[in-house]
Amino acid sequence: MAIEVIEPGLATSIQDEGRPGYYNVGVPPSGALDLYSAAAANALVGNPSSAAVIESAYMGPKLRFTEPAVVAVTGADIPVLVNGQSAPSWTSLDLKAGDELSFEILAGGARIYIAVSGGIDVPLVLGSRSLYALGAFGGFQGRALQAGDVLPVGVGSGRPGLSVPEALRPQFAKEMDVRIVLGLYDYRLTDEGMSALVDRPWQLSPVADRIGFRYAGNPLQWKEREQPFGAGSDPSNITDAGYPVGSIQVPGGIEPIILHRDAVSGGGYAQVGTVISADMDVVAQSAPGTMAMFVPVTLDQALEARAEARARRAEMMAALS
């Protein structure tokens, strides 16, 4: 069983739940940016959550299945076609040998997930099948998919006709709140700088990929100081340090960048807060132009939100079992 890539779509890669444990040598967690949608796609086709799926940004691929397969598409709001005929998303589909899966124009969200029963069976690298593009390893041959690639598929036992209830599918809005825990180097901001960070919305720029999401808005002010030895000359510089996944850095005070799952693991820019784990999927599904308010919450509120997200995921999994 294999999948032939006829057209690759945009920034299409193989991703699973990620590669923890190597951040101390600069290897980020990687994995599906929107883990909820990836888990739903896997559950729909009878795979464990750890199975590898196909992730695309904004534009879906065109794929041909060499043998019968149970397939599901989740994530962004995008019309799905099987042999040119409309097919439902968030639903397990019964594809016959030679069937082609393709997509129309994205209507909302940003990232599309395609799961196939048995999972995409590329080799494990450091315990994960996820592509880490900067390191050129993992995924399919250490790179994004190209036309002509043939993806190996494992053995599965999915059944068609399962569907994620409407209420358990994500909603995509052009305005959103992104909850953050302030801290890290936020003491380096002036009061005006802090107010500029959290009191006004930021617009997501087109520079939004698996490494980071860059926003545009008003510049932030940093406290002037004599820079410490080793920290670099700009007030937004620090002695190079590790970057939390989801942390927000503001090089030069101009454009906040949220680091995502293919983050650079460290560097010399001050970070002023971190997106809570429960909102990383929401950031992943935001398209350029989206207006985001960074809403400060406490660590306890972040943990409550995490518990709510887990409960919602458990409800989704239960609905498909």
Partner 1 sequence: MSSRYSWGADEHLVVQITEDMSLESNFKAMAMASDLASQQVDGLTDICPANASLLVRFDPDRIAPAEVERIVREAEGRLEGGGPQVLETRIFELPVWYNDPYTNETGARFRDRHQTPDKTDLEFAAQENNLPSVEAFIEAHSGAPWITSMVGFVAGLPFLFQMVPQERQLEVPKYVRPRTDTPKQTIGYGGCFTAIYSVRGAGGYQMFGLTPVPIFDPTQELPDFTDFMFFFRPGDIVKFRRIDEAEYNQIKEQVEAGEYRIRQRPVTFDLAEYEKDPDAYNARLLEVLYGN
Q: CA 49, 54, 56: angle at the middle one, nearest 5?
A: 125
From 43-51, 70-78, 115-123, 176-184, span contacting partner 1 (CB under 8 A)? 176-184
Helix (H) or strand (E) run with residue 272 in it: strand 271-275
Residues 7 to 46 in contact with partner 1, rule: CB under 8 A: 20-27
The pair of structure tokens assigned to 321 is 């079992």
Rounded CA gap, 271 and 236, in Å? 9
Rounded CA gap, 84 and 13, in Å? 23
Q: Is residue 240 a contact residue for partner 1 (CB under 8 A)?
A: yes
- Considering only 11, 134, 317, 319, the residue that binds partner 1 (CB under 8 A) is 134
* Under 8 Å between Cβ of 219 and 255: no
CB atoms within 10 A of CB 185: 18
- Considering only 274, 285, 286, 290, the residue that binds partner 1 (CB under 8 A) is 274
Q: Is residue 244 a contact residue for partner 1 (CB under 8 A)?
A: yes
- Considering only 162, 258, 275, 292, the residue that binds partner 1 (CB under 8 A) is 275
The pair of structure tokens assigned to 33 is 């940016």
Q: For 4-144, where are the alpha helices, taking DSSP H only?
A: 35-44
Q: Cβ closer to partner 1: 306 or 312?
A: 306
* Under 8 Å between Cβ of 102 and 75: no
CB of 278 to partner 1, least distance (A): 8
- The secondary structure of residue 139, as a DSSP letter, is T
CB of 117 to partner 1, least distance (A): 28
Q: Is residue 231 a contact residue for partner 1 (CB under 8 A)?
A: yes
Which residues lie below 8 Å from residue 117, measured CB to CB, with a gap of 6+? 45, 46, 47, 69, 70, 71, 156, 157, 158
CB of 291 to partner 1, least distance (A): 21
CB of 187 to partner 1, least distance (A): 8
Q: Is residue 293 a contact residue for partner 1 (CB under 8 A)?
A: no
Local structure of 47: helix, strand or coil: coil
Rounded CA gap, 27 and 126, in Å? 10
Q: Is residue 80 a contact residue for partner 1 (CB under 8 A)?
A: no
Residues 51 to 70 in contact with partner 1, rule: CB under 8 A: none
- Considering only 116, 120, 189, 245, the residue that binds partner 1 (CB under 8 A) is 245
Q: Is residue 163 a contact residue for partner 1 (CB under 8 A)?
A: no
Q: Is residue 79 a contact residue for partner 1 (CB under 8 A)?
A: no
Binding interface with partner 1 (CB under 8 A): 20-27, 125-126, 132, 134-137, 142, 180-181, 183-185, 228-233, 238-247, 264-268, 271, 273-277, 299, 302-303, 306, 310
